[in-house]
Structure 1
């Protein structure tokens, strides 16, 4: 064990939330902060090119490349789980959609006992983080570290998708993160000047010359040091061997939905019987650690396109790829300046619902396969409409496969465990077909290729969902916040029963938000840093 170093705060995990926590805690120079990241620096060029996220989807250089256990309701298929293993975490490899969720999601957190997490309380942190290209308004901020912008480049297909949704009766919505979420509109993204704006770029870029912030890459946190009921430091592994660092004030765990519960369990905080099975001494029996895993779930309807205006045309043509590279290199424009997802719709599968439970993503591409082996596009011009179920009933677990801290965790989702989960997705597929039938898309559609026009009955659609549906890669909940008996952290994000220890990432969400989870994760980091500073004052 190498010699110890002491800091005021240690943050484990430089992902969406972790970068925000470390950046904010170090900005006034008052505290010494250590930020640990198991992966490398974000120097891989494809990270920073918006369409380059396809190059990071299954790249072990920057990606944990986890797999779930076989899912019973999905014909025992394994759900591939790409997660960022690099500065910026998953914000360095994701699709860059800026979506906060529905305001009622946060009010529901408050109703469940999470004081200070209602929408009015979290909105200032969203605004503080944001530098929106549209400028400030009651819902958006300017001057924050996170750049948010409209698409700099869009294919003609994007407008046709938008207009078709309006023709199908879905109201136009200029801002999913504004006064109302429901409707169809153009997504904003965490892109600036045609470059990805990850959490690392946002929070660590301005901090790179701070003498009070130490950023350690290739530093894998393996155990929390807990003495007399207090977390006093972290043990982590480096290429030169194991190291221990001490925290005089607090440790903030930001390892993500899989990494955070894994680190807690390796440190003796988790379900007692499970820890004993792996020979880990139980510090505190906490059944909720690694429980309540849930995620959005999606399928898609794909169409052969009558015009060569899709991303498939780019991938399948060398001349088009050369042209796109030149457009990006010399003008920061063209398809490489975007990420292929321009338009979405927030809708209700049942009009009796109070708020949207479906997100219809409208992709300028269509694929044959998505797995740990990569994304395989259709060999012809095609695009897809993808219904995402935002309020899933299924709950799963993250558990240890081994006491080896470098081993991947065991991930079980238990997707599609209720009739409601199926009903929402079936309705979503029918909404997608209704959009595709509209006049605005007629010039672009040759035929439906997946699941195919012959798949119309509920039973057939259900079978297709089981065969093709996938995780939407928005996992949350494994260290959930609350006051229930199995909650892991309190509303201050302090781990129940352990002093000096907090968790700050998407794992603390008591229920998943209706939309992409990157922006909420950054908000959680912002709010955590504020609470930590208040406690330290």
Structure 2
């Protein structure tokens, strides 16, 4: 399949944000990256009275309907206006990599080829992993699912560092602080109603219509997961963000919560940043767009202390940007900007470790390879890359009738999970979702029906983010090393999840929408038996995909060799430098990291402000 390189159709509507040199030479804080980690943090610091410069490599698309209207999330992730293409690997095995059905190639004529039979002369790119270079970061192009990690995902930080502020019980207060709930009656003590992040749910009234074939799927899923099939109309309205005892062991339907409002408008750090800039209080926040940070500057007179950043300015400077000028070889002129207090890196799981390494912080041998002066040997930088495994069971109805259905959201535990926690988040409906590639998703016709799933608690976090060069415009070499550790266990859990979902879809085969043809993981008439565990394991091993990269600058104890930051987000071995984004999670935080990352962003602001009150400016 060939896909046209998309063109940017809508330019930024907010031109008042700075796109050149900053208005001041020095700030209290410089925050690098405006996504779920950096955006709320910069706004919080400014609202506390600290002069803060927020640097963003992209522009602002907050008024662009492609991003503002949540229903357009597929278009947003494909849009060249903000898209950064990272071409990643899932393993070190070239033959295995070429089995990935959505492997992408550059044809050389301005198009991509996606598939297993590229045209002669096409250049192999790899597996697309799109990120968003835009004010608000990847929270501007995702599906905006707002979910929480398992309690153990928070508590692991307590166990590693002894910092009880990371306990699951305490972390709920940050959800309450940021949330503006638009779907629950006021007064729930665990939820927020006056924060900056709107949350809402969809209409689940379809589950009251007993004539819909999808209701049979819903009731079968209820039976298979220990729920009452006769109560599904109520169960599908369960609150995804509920706070009940042993919630992580509860198999339940939910109404998928999203960080959007009741009018279908996306809510993200973009909204909070813009509200802070527009506030009559005139908070000291400066936002500088189209600015790529090339390195952090240090004062090395005693213990290394971060004092500023070096930047280049202009659109599409990073080579992940499909609009980047491939003919530009020389690095544009650099500018230095200084901070009186701290530098905070919030570039995400790929760019934060890259920037640390370019600045001299990382594995000493890797930095020496590129003649980067060593500031601090931290072997964990760029290691421990983790992600959820994602896959789907896709069936095509062989009748002329589509499977009329609302969205079914279910969290459940496969029988072979190693502990009592639910390990699969699935959503089923009349859509197609098979991963990410230029031009995704594929439309399989009006009778398509999919159960997509996210595998939680992956056992293998063995991925790496390595430098390709010392040029800050180059993308890093990213290898997720899927299934490298305890792979058979993870694969077995995916297979068991697929078996349950297959039985549910097959239950509708005797209705007017059936029979179904299974497209994957098995091929052929949809039954209840599948095509065999080993065949299905091989499918997931070669075709699993992901979009929730984390953990490359992981929080850990002071004596942990691979720890990068402490429980207050401070980079070990230097002063005045923190990392605040999804890269700090020691493990992948549940099924969707967007809301958890916004939560730790405001936690970091709380930690930084508390420390600033006690510490005079150096």
Common fold: TM-score over 0.5: yes
* 8 Å CA contact 1:64, 1:85 repeated in 2: yes
Match of 1:201 among 271, 279, 301: 271
* 8 Å CA contact 1:388, 1:425 repeated in 2: no
Whole-angstrom distance in 1 between the partners of 2:585 and 2:166? 10
- CA-CA distance at 1:487 after TM superposition: 0.3
Q: What does residue 385 of structure 1 align with?
A: 451
Q: What does residue 137 of structure 1 align with?
A: 188
Match of 1:525 among 583, 601, 604: 601
Deviations 1:78-111 (A, max 9, x none): 4321111101100000011110121232123212
Structure number with larger C-alpha Rg = 2
Deviations 1:407-443 (A, max 9, x none): 1111110102221111111111111112224469955
Q: Secondary structure at the match of 2:201?
A: coil
Q: Does 1:216 align with 2:237?
A: no
- CA-CA distance at 1:464 after TM superposition: 1.7
Q: Does 1:21 align with 2:69?
A: no
Q: Does 1:495 align with 2:571?
A: yes
- CA-CA distance at 1:241 after TM superposition: 4.5
Closer, same or farther: CA 144–367 of 1 in aligned 2, 3 Å: closer
Q: What does residue 464 of structure 1 align with?
A: 539
Deviations 1:354-400 (A, max 9, x none): 21112122243125774134322213421211232212122111111
Q: Secondary structure at the match of 1:375?
A: coil
Q: Where does 1:278-293 land on structure 2 (aligned, <5 Å)? A: 278-293=370-385
Whole-angstrom distance in 1 between the partners of 2:551 and 2:355? 15
* 8 Å CA contact 1:349, 1:358 repeated in 2: no
Q: Which moved more, 1:85-94 or 1:271-280?
A: 271-280
- CA-CA distance at 1:211 after TM superposition: 4.7
- CA-CA distance at 1:138 after TM superposition: 3.4
* 8 Å CA contact 2:218, 2:408 repeated in 1: no
Report which structure shows greater RCO (CA 8 Å, sep ≥6): 1
Q: Where does 1:345-424 land on structure 2 (aligned, <5 Å)? A: 345-350=411-416, 353-367=419-433, 370-394=436-460, 395-417=462-484, 418-424=487-493
* 8 Å CA contact 1:68, 1:412 repeated in 2: yes
Match of 1:308 among 402, 406, 431: 402
Considering only aligned residues, what root-mean-square deviation do their CA atoms show, in Å? 2.5
Match of 2:159 among 87, 96, 111: 111
How many residue pairs match? The answer is: 507
Whole-angstrom distance in 2 between the partners of 1:365 and 1:154? 19
- CA-CA distance at 1:349 after TM superposition: 4.2
5+ residue gaps, structure 1: 312-339
- CA-CA distance at 1:148 after TM superposition: 0.4
Q: Which moved more, 1:454-463 or 1:251-260?
A: 454-463
- CA-CA distance at 1:512 after TM superposition: 1.2
Q: Secondary structure at the match of 1:299?
A: strand
Q: Secondary structure at the match of 2:287?
A: strand
Whole-angstrom distance in 1 between the partners of 2:162 and 2:273? 27
Q: What does residue 102 of structure 1 align with?
A: 150
* 8 Å CA contact 1:257, 1:477 repeated in 2: yes
* 8 Å CA contact 2:129, 2:436 repeated in 1: no
Match of 1:269 among 361, 366, 373: 361
Q: Secondary structure at the match of 2:37?
A: helix
Q: Report the TM-score when normalising by structure 1.
A: 0.88
Deviations 1:319-356 (A, max 9, x none): xxxxxxxxxxxxxxxxxxxxx86523233343662211
Q: What does residue 238 of structure 1 align with?
A: 313
Q: What does residue 27 of structure 2 align with?
A: 7
* 8 Å CA contact 2:130, 2:436 repeated in 1: no
Q: Where does 1:428-467 land on structure 2 (aligned, <5 Å)? A: 428-438=497-507, 442=511, 444-451=513-520, 452=523, 453=526, 455-467=530-542
Q: Does 1:175 align with 2:244?
A: no
